[in-house]
Structure 1
Amino acid sequence: MKCSILLEQIKEYWPSEIIVTEDLESQLNNLYWLADSNIDDQTQDWLSLSAWAFHQALEPFVQTEMAKGKKFISLHQLPMKLFNKQMLFNLEEECWATELSEYIQE
């Protein structure tokens, strides 16, 4: 599965932008659980893995955007490089060996 395709597919499960609250961690966790609840872990393992990787990559991305003074953050602007980094990190677990061999970076 191609990184760019996964990134575009998983963005559909997340809001396009957020207004940052004081409790960023809870805000991002709640968004993750909402996205994850719409994914069938049994039949959509790539989407499930992508949702978690997207969630993991969001905090550093949002922190960087906040450091620039932004309060409205476009989640869909998450760089593919950050998403790919988290995908690779997660796929290194032994249980994802098959998926790692199928994963195509760009």
Structure 2
Amino acid sequence: MANTSIADKSTPKKHNGVTPVAKLASFSMRPETLLINRKLEQLNTLLMCSYGIGRDWFEEIGQDNRDSLVWLASDLAGDIYRAFETLQSQQAEAEVAIRAGGDHHHG
């Protein structure tokens, strides 16, 4: 029978040199998170052109340009959705690794 300490049992196993807890904490700096933030800002700016004060301009640019702007908004929304799915999957994997690594909180 192997002799393991309590610290060994509660410390998550490292994967590629990084503990799952550290990996989970790093999601705010992931490329997907940065992409989501950038694309949301672009989408928000684009949509501001189609309502409120920008509504007159949106009407004046013509149907073809309006269609192109809505298509662009749809592409941005799709990019955001795919990046979010990737990030969500990575986060779920990190959470599973944490549980599998024995990171139990007793309280």
TM-score (ref. length: structure 1):
0.29
Q: Which has the higher contact order (CA 8 A, sep 6+)?
A: 2
* Bigger proportion of residues as helix: 2
